[in-house]
Amino acid sequence: MESPQKTERYGEVAKEIAAVLDGENNVIARMATVSNILHHAFDHYFWTGFYLVDPEKPDELVIGPYQGTLGCLRIPFGRGVCGAAAASRKTQIVEDVHAFPGHIACDARSESEIVVPVFNGAGELVAVFDVDSDRKSQFDHTDKEGLENILKGVFA
Ligand code: SME
């Protein structure tokens, strides 16, 4: 998808998510809804979902609500793309996951990836949001801005 169309689509999806989540405070319901709507809105999404900071092991991520094939259950901070996003608290865009040191291949079909850190209202890291594509170089600044905008409302 070209970037202007993709920007517009992220705007529409953000409105749809806000409308569906209006009045719902349960965070599992909110995360499940965000994963579902985004996963079905874009055809470059192959795996879509949350890894949560485990309250019992604060340097480890544990699987949250997602859409797609079976995801790995746990990822230590600093490992793979999700672990890098959690450790750095910065969005990671990877054009070719096979070239990323320590990439965790939960599904061998993943080729490119974006991972966005997710913060609560107090600014603490509570999760990362991971999207994988089965094609290379599928994510750019449009996905980064679109996703960061949607995700800042999930735990706020
Ligand atoms: N690719 C991720 C692992 C999670 S899954 O792909 C669902 C990573 O290296 O962080």
**19, part of any domain:** yes
Q: How many CB atoms lie within 10 A of CB 144?
A: 15
The yes-or-no verdict on residue 37 having pLDDT over 80 is yes
**9, part of any domain:** yes
Query: For 104-126, what is the mean pLDDT?
Result: 94
Higher pLDDT, 156 or 130: 130
The yes-or-no verdict on residue 34 having pLDDT over 90 is yes
Query: For 80-101, what is the mean pLDDT?
Result: 96
Q: How many CB atoms lie within 10 A of CB 73?
A: 10
Q: Answer whether 81 contacts ligand 1 (Cβ < 6 A).
A: yes
Query: For 54-61, what is the mean pLDDT?
Result: 95
Structural domain harbouring 67: 3-151
**77, part of any domain:** yes
Alpha carbons 113 and 135: distance in angstroms, whole number: 9
Q: Answer whether 72 contacts ligand 1 (Cβ < 6 A).
A: yes
In sequence order, the 6+-apart residues with CB closer than 8 A to the CB of 59 are 76, 77
Q: Answer whether 47 contacts ligand 1 (Cβ < 6 A).
A: yes
DSSP 114: E
**28, part of any domain:** yes
Residue 51 · residue 62 · CB < 8 Å: yes
**129, part of any domain:** yes
Alpha carbon of 156 to ligand 1 centroid (Å): 25
Tens-place pLDDT, residues 5-17 = 999 999 999 999 9
Number of structural domains found in the chain: 1
CA dihedral 103, 90, 65, 143 (to 10 degrees): -90
The yes-or-no verdict on residue 108 having pLDDT over 80 is yes
Quickly state the pLDDT bin for 2 (edges 50, 70, 90): confident
Residue 103 CA: which ligand 1 atom is closest? 9
Tokens 């999207």 found at: 131
Residue 81 CA: which ligand 1 atom is closest? 10
Q: Answer whether 63 contacts ligand 1 (Cβ < 6 A).
A: no
**156, part of any domain:** no
Q: Answer whether 64 contacts ligand 1 (Cβ < 6 A).
A: no
Task: State the pLDDT at residue 129.
Answer: 98
CATH code of residue 72 = 3.30.450.40
**Does the reported pTM lie above 0.85?**
yes
